[in-house]
Amino acid sequence: MQASTQYSGKVVLVTGGTRGIGRGIALAFLAQGATVIVCGRHAPPEAITSGASEAVFFRADVRDTEQMADLCASIALRFGRLDVLINNAGGSPQVAAADASPRFSAAIINLNLIAPLNLAQSAHALMDLQDEGGVIVFIGSVSALRPSPGTAAYGAAKAGVLNLVRSLAVEWAPKVRVVAVSPGMVLTEESHQHYGDADGLAAVGATIPMGRLAQPDEIATACLFMASGAAAYATGNNLVLDGGGERPAFLAAAATVTNGVGRKSGAVKRGLQVAGDLPA
């Protein structure tokens, strides 16, 4: 990403910023001149740097409310301000809903909904004291907008995040803007754990209209925009980055439908496989 000074003098906190999407976001803000703080339970294997700039790492667990309050207090003491919070930390392993224990589901909802809310409250307390206010960006997911088989609690938590964004935006406007960026599938260092080898990744990518998974820096670019003055009137909004979404499953089934003489029906050719388009 091309270096700039768009965020010079700004202080940005990225939770879960040591890997994956979070790391990409941290690098993007560094490249734009920001002072970037990343937090996580484990230190990154190598420093997160862009040119001569390096992200500051704090070891902290976003699920621990006291640790997050201490983190915000440390940021205020060391840097004197907090301009942007990227509420990125989250995730879930695959577990069938019928097999998920109450404890597991509660933990997933806590990580993906309650923890970001608690941190947003601490960040807001700092931002509300600043003349310029601040911006809180929640990293959502398309799992909030479609079925999420295998990660039902995660999808429900992310759906809760989108409602939370709208509610906080109303309560904290106009000084603190609250927005969401919701990625679809993103190519990270852990993608192979979900989709397999290069062939598996290519097969999954082929289901997306854009023909591939997103790159972390593409999610980062959206965060740069949503947190910038260019999006000054955006609050309560959710920017979806899913490469066009998912091709409707009925289209693949319809492609195999033939009429009695072995030709695809005219209706199939015209793509009229929606209830009500075809005569009974």
For the entire predicted model, the pTM comes to 0.89
Q: Are 104 and 49 spatial neighbours (Cβ–Cβ below 8 Å)?
A: no
What 8-state DSSP symbol labels residue 1? -
Q: Are 278 and 272 spatial neighbours (Cβ–Cβ below 8 Å)?
A: yes
Q: Which of 75, 89, 86, 68 is nearest to 136 (CA)?
A: 86
68-115 residue pLDDT tens: 999 999 999 999 999 999 999 999 999 999 999 999 999 999 999 999
Domain 11-247 has CATH 3.40.50.720: yes
The residues near 67 (Cβ < 8 Å, ≥ 6 apart) are: 60, 61
- Sequence ranges of the domains in the chain: 11-247, 248-280
Supply the pLDDT for residue 2: 61
154 is catalytic: yes
Residue 260 has pLDDT above 50, yes or no: no
| pLDDT interval class at 252 (50, 70, 90) | confident
What is the sign, positive or negative, of the torsion defined by CA atoms of 122, 107, 165, 56?
A: positive
Residue 271 has pLDDT above 50, yes or no: no
Helix ranges (DSSP H) in the chain: 20-31, 65-79, 102-109, 115-127, 152-172, 191-195, 198-205, 216-226, 249-255, 266-270
Residue 280 has pLDDT above 90, yes or no: no
Supply the pLDDT for residue 106: 98
φ, ψ for residue 120, nearest 5 deg: -60, -40
φ, ψ for residue 245, nearest 5 deg: 85, -150
Check 7, 154, 195, 233 and give the catalytic one.
Answer: 154
The residues near 199 (Cβ < 8 Å, ≥ 6 apart) are: none
What would the two tokens of residue 63 be?
A: 């699920």
